[in-house]
Amino acid sequence: MSGIKPTGRHLEKRLSAATVRAIKTPGLHGDGNGLYLKIDTSGAKRWIQRLMIEGKRRDIGLGSASLVGLAEARDKALENRKLARAGGDPLAAKKRSMEVLSFKAAAEKVHELSKPTWRNDKHGDQWINTMTTHVFPVFGSKRIDTVASADVLAALSPIWNSRPETARRVKQRVGSVFKWAMANGWRTDNPAETIGSALPKHDRSKVKHREALPYGAVKAAIASVSASEAGTATKLAFEYLVLTATRSGETREALWSEIDLESAIWTIPAARMKAKKPHRVPLPPRCLAILTEAKTLKRDDDLVFPGTKNKKPLSDMTLSKLMKDLGIAAVPHGFRSSFRDWAGEQTSHPREVIEFALAHVIKDKAEAAYARSDLFEKRRALMDDWAAYLK
């Protein structure tokens, strides 16, 4: 292949933009700093740079001449030459740059890596679904190292005031993706953390808590559900949830392998607990009676309260819809509040016993350091009292 390949002392900027457009001779046409315009026999033109890297001559492609102008090619060539003279490897740097993922791909990777930490599949689905709805359309296709604070702000602003809880969760999730990118060396900052002053503070006093019944109305709610035309599994799960003061998912996904009927203990594994710690629940006699009845529902899976589909638990919507249809002005989670109010106002059980019964995390670090016991026997007395109150 012919062309104009300089010999002797290397001069810089031999080519001009007009020359690059006009020249058609196949071969290498030198410009300086090891930069060449390479023209194929087909007429295609592209930039290459020849450099000595770790004692070896290497060719680095800088792009098509139709996309990369002469000035940009010179800038890239000078940058590579400086890096090589400093002992770096422009080819390795280029490879690393090409490996940088888009924000969407990075988020999907973080989602996949986080699967073992999800409380349940629903939690994992919510994580990626909020990204798909609110983030990916705005900057999902951008390389994660090029996403700016303005991009994050553009994604969050439409929902910041109208859907504050969702917005805060999305901000946290976006931040976790940037932290992963920082750990991979693709970023040195987290744009989700730098936009705080650009967004108005949410008024937490206006947060609407989940609806709960006064504890005096809970017994009637159980009676209403028991007398309804709901399925047996639904009725049993509802009463079991109320008596154990557990969260909906903890009850609905309960497994026989978690329950020791002889010792009257239900041990919920850490994976299904909000605090990510195993939680032992003392079972009063009424709960044991519920479990005895639930045995008649047992299928080929291990679920205590099976749903309508095989190997699927009851859905949260099943309980919520039933309560709505029966005119019970609460949500399943609200019975934990009913229990908490009853225990605090109608009993002399210590506060820490009540908090442990609800599997709440002790926020005071000094207090938590001394909380070596889960106060199980004291909690058994508390839950027996709650069952007796509802009898």
User: Domain locations in the chain?
Assistant: 17-99, 103-206, 215-390
pLDDT at 140: 93
Beta partners for residue 282, in sequence order: 265
Portion of the chain with pLDDT greater than 90, in percent: 48
pLDDT at 203: 58
Q: Is the pLDDT of residue 104 over 70?
A: yes
What letter would DSSP give residue 245?
A: T
What whole-number distance in Å separates Cα of residue 375 and Cα of residue 378? 5
Which residue in the block uniquely carries the two structure tokens 């995390």?
361
pLDDT at 37: 92
Closest CA to 38 of 10, 68, 11, 12: 68
Q: Is the pLDDT of residue 138 over 50?
A: yes
pLDDT at 198: 67
Q: Is the pLDDT of residue 4 over 60?
A: no
- Contact 32/51 with Cβ under 8 angstroms? no
pLDDT at 366: 46
What whole-number distance in Å separates Cα of residue 274 and Cα of residue 246? 11
pLDDT at 386: 97
Which architecture does CATH list for 17-99?
2-Layer Sandwich (3.30)
Q: How far apart, in Å, are the Cα atoms of 228 and each of 223, 243, 245, 313?
A: 9, 19, 22, 20
pLDDT at 207: 47
User: 17-99 with 215-390: one CATH topology?
Assistant: no
Closest CA to 37 of 8, 13, 11, 58: 13
Highest mean pLDDT among 54-63, 200-209, 293-302: 293-302
Q: Is the pLDDT of residue 21 over 70?
A: yes
Question: What one-character-per-residue DSSP string does 82-102 give?
Answer: HHHHTT--HHHHHHHHHHPPB
pLDDT at 275: 80
Element (DSSP H or E) covering residue 279: strand 279-282
Contacts by residues 147-152 (CB-CB < 8 Å, ≥ 24 positions apart): 147/103, 147/178, 147/191, 148/191, 149/191, 149/194, 149/195, 149/198, 151/191, 152/191, 152/192, 152/195
What whole-number distance in Å separates Cα of residue 278 and Cα of residue 244? 15
Q: What pTM did the predictor assign? A: 0.55
pLDDT at 372: 56
Provide the H-helix boundaries in 161-211.
164-183
Q: Encode pLDDT of 199-241 as tens digits.
A: 777 555 554 445 889 999 999 999 999 999 999 999 999 999 9
More confident residue, 320 or 53: 320
Relative to beta strand 259-260, strand 279-282 is unpaired
Torsion-angle region of residue 152: left (phi > 0), alpha (psi -120 to 50) or beta? alpha
Q: Is the pLDDT of residue 369 over 80?
A: no
What whole-number distance in Å separates Cα of residue 317 and Cα of residue 314? 8
Q: Give the domain 103-206 fold.
A: DNA polymerase; domain 1 (1.10.150)
pLDDT at 245: 95
Q: Is the pLDDT of residue 9 over 50?
A: no
pLDDT at 95: 61
Question: What one-character-per-residue DSSP string does 105-147 give?
Answer: HHHHHHHHHTGGG-SSHHHHHHHHHHHHHHTIIIIITSBTTT-
Buried b (16+ CB within 10 A) or exposed e, 242-251: bbbbbbbbbb
Q: Is the pLDDT of residue 362 over 80?
A: no
Which of 78-87, 107-116, 329-338 has the weakest average pLDDT?
78-87
pLDDT band at 185 (very low <50, low <70, confident <90, very high): confident
Q: Is the pLDDT of residue 177 over 50?
A: yes
Q: How far apart, in Å, are the Cα atoms of 25 and each of 41, 44, 221, 266?
A: 8, 11, 89, 82
pLDDT at 370: 44
Which of 23-27, 149-153, 198-202, 307-311 has the weakest average pLDDT?
198-202
* Mean pLDDT, residues 77-89: 79
Portion of the chain with pLDDT greater than 70, in percent: 88
Q: What is residue 313's three-state secondary structure?
A: strand
Q: Is the pLDDT of residue 118 over 80?
A: no
What type of residue is 97? Answer: S
Q: Encode pLDDT of 305-315 as tens digits.
A: 998 888 888 88
Q: Is the pLDDT of residue 300 over 70?
A: yes
More confident residue, 191 or 100: 191
* Mean pLDDT, residues 74-100: 74
- Contact 378/280 with Cβ under 8 angstroms? no
- Return the CATH number of the domain spanning residue range 215-390: 1.10.443.10
pLDDT at 277: 87
* Mean pLDDT, residues 54-73: 83
Within a 10 A sphere around the Cβ of 305, how many other Cβ atoms?
26
Which of 170-174, 239-243, 365-369 has the weakest average pLDDT?
365-369
Q: How far apart, in Å, are the Cα atoms of 112 and each of 107, 117, 118, 275?
A: 9, 10, 10, 21
